[in-house]
Amino acid sequence: ELLISVGVAAVLSLSVAARIILFGNPISDAICIAIAMALTVIFSIVFGACAPLVLQRLGADPAKVSGPLLSTAIDIFGVLVACLSAQLLEAVGAFPVSV
């Protein structure tokens, strides 16, 4: 699952970065969004595959992690990654701060 997630993340991240650059937006925006998308895709695939297995091993019903709980966890992770990647790029000077 990890190899598949890295492949999917690479294709989606490169595609979204190319689209952002082609529409004339700064490359720092493309990098920030591509990083956030790659990490979110990898997390969602790995978490979606591992969470039911962990619950089953703990003796709980694996279906409890499907649906709303899974999508909510992935959404929260995605927002955190997007904000943190922008903050990281801003800290190293690659993401200009607009006042």
* CA-CA-CA-CA torsion sign (28, 31, 33, 39): negative
Q: Tens place of pLDDT for every residue, the chain, 99 residues?
A: 889 889 999 999 999 999 999 998 888 888 888 888 898 899 888 888 888 888 889 888 887 777 777 888 888 888 888 888 777 777 777 666 554
pLDDT score of 94: 67
Question: Is 99 a domain residue?
Answer: no
Residues in the chain: 99
Residue 78: its H or E element: helix 68-91
Report how many domains make up the chain: 1
Tokens of 53: 């297995």
Q: Which domain holds residue 27?
A: 1-92
Whole-structure pTM value: 0.76
Question: Is 32 a domain residue?
Answer: yes
What is the rounded CA–CA span in Å between residue 29 and residue 32? 5
Question: Is 81 a domain residue?
Answer: yes
